[in-house]
A = this chain, B = another copy of it.
Amino acid sequence: MANELFVYNTLIRKKVKFEPLNPPFVGMYVCGPTVYSHAHLGNARPAITFDILYRYLNFLGYKVRYVSNITDVGHLEGDTDDGEDKLIKKAKLEKLEPMEIAQQFMNSYHEDMAALNVIRPNIEPRATGHIPEQIEMIEKIMQNGYAYEANGSVYFDVNTYNTDHNYGELSGRDIEDLISGTRELTSQDEKKSSLDFALWKKADQTHLMRWNSPWGLGFPGWHLECSVMSTKYLGDEFDIHGGGLDLLFPHHDCEIAQSMGGLKCKSVKYWMHNNMLTMNGQKMAKSLGNTITLKQFFTGEHDMLERTYHPMIIRFLILQAHYRSTLDFSNEALQAAEKGYNKLVEAYKTLQSLSSSDKSTVDIKNLEGDCRKVMNDDLNTPMLIANLFEGVKIINSVNDKKETISAEDLSELKSIFDNYLVSILGLKVISSDDKNDDVMDGLMNLILEIRDEARTKKDFDTSDKIRDQLNKINLEIKDGKDGSNWVWKN
């Protein structure tokens, strides 16, 4: 198992060896954000989880095409078909064009993901950009007898599908239980069964986002876009489909039904799901006031946050739990994560300046294997971090001259940290770029003050040294009547 990647496949509820359909190519699709507001903490977990998978697959030498969608239409309130389209609701409130809102929050999402060092997917298809493809998929599903039109809308016929296939197989739901759990249809309902879900919804004249279709003006149902865009860019059958556990039902079960209903195949080989985050032990929900945006974490502007948290701290805390475990966020947990993260970063810096000796008194021969082994075990990032902390101990003991390290071992240790800390976990060493100009100003004020004192004491060695050293890094001191100042040199 050590040299082969195993992943947990939700479909069969066990860890299995990862064998792509067409090695070395891997096709991977992950459900992306709905862009009607700023991304919140919950958006960070799937993004980071599948970023790790993407990075690790690349590290293993696979050629991965990673597709993740942007939902800019059709996500109905509460996952029911009678809710108002979320984007359109916001547009009415703000008197804006829906696409202007989508653009604003898509840009905001990209900013946040960049801050979290999440690599952009190879393709980020937008739902509104694939209307013809969605209409074609509906037509195929109808031709195969698994969908019907009613009053300008088209619904997936769950009961008919379930006679041929197994609706709910991913979430393990039984259709009889599902039926008894939903309300009875009323005479106004146009659906045949309360389980049926919309593939296409009729739009009235006030609806801002609508397109022509064989069934009149309307817009696609939310579940449809993922079935359509994943298979358009990855082929009818592809390797990995990821997303949050909250999407298991109905979204992913509906995707399976749509793909089987339209394309007559199981599109996805490995279904992978990240677990949920809680905040101070509570589920995050707007009604509880604990849905915190990522930007609020970065700026500290939320009542529940004691202060700002650097994006790398968010990323590190998420990686400290296995992606299939629940994870609780709190100020305490964040501050503890910050301490651990800083230790890793300091050790990484120390590592760069470590000197080697003739022979090693430290033993690192199993470290790379240990790192790989835990990553191969369904991306066990908390265990990987624990292994890297074994490396930190070695770095610090060599730095403290308690141990020695050979050149060969030092090179191996550097390679382990570069691969696993930087490339695979995607953790950035926080640099001066991330700090604000205050630091630069603070340092320069200190240096100018020392120089002024030196000149007062006629210690021209020191003042000349300061001038020369600053020159080397392209800074120039300007002496004026009110004291000295500095500028970037031309």
Contacts and interface: CB of A to CB of B under 8 A. Distances in A.
A302 to B, nearest CB: 21
Interface residues of A, number: 66
Contacts of A120: 103, 107
A254 to B, nearest CB: 24
Contacts of A338: 490
Most B CB within 10 A of own CB, among A449, A450, A453, A470: A450
Interface string A264-297: 0000000000000000000000000000000000
A40 interface: no
Most B CB within 10 A of own CB, among A123, A130, A136, A485: A123
A444 B446 contact: no
A115 interface: no
A438 B473 contact: yes
Interface in A429-471: 430-433, 435-440, 442-447, 449-450, 453, 462, 465-466, 469-470
Nearest to A434: B433
Most B CB within 10 A of own CB, among A97, A338, A436: A97
A233 B107 CA distance: 18
Contact of A462 (B349, B431, B435, B450): B450
A251 interface: no
Contacts of A1: none
A431 B439 contact: no
Given A446-B469, A450-B450, A480 B125 contact: no
B442 A431 contact: no
Q: How many copies, total?
A: 2
B97 A443 contact: no
A308 interface: no
Contacts of A433: 433, 436-437
A342 B475 CA distance: 13
A125 B342 CA distance: 42
Interface in A99-149: 99-100, 103-104, 107, 120-126, 128-132, 136
A100 B65 contact: yes
Contacts of A93: none
B132 A129 contact: no
Contacts of A131: 131-132
A401 interface: yes
A435 B487 CA distance: 13
A346 interface: yes
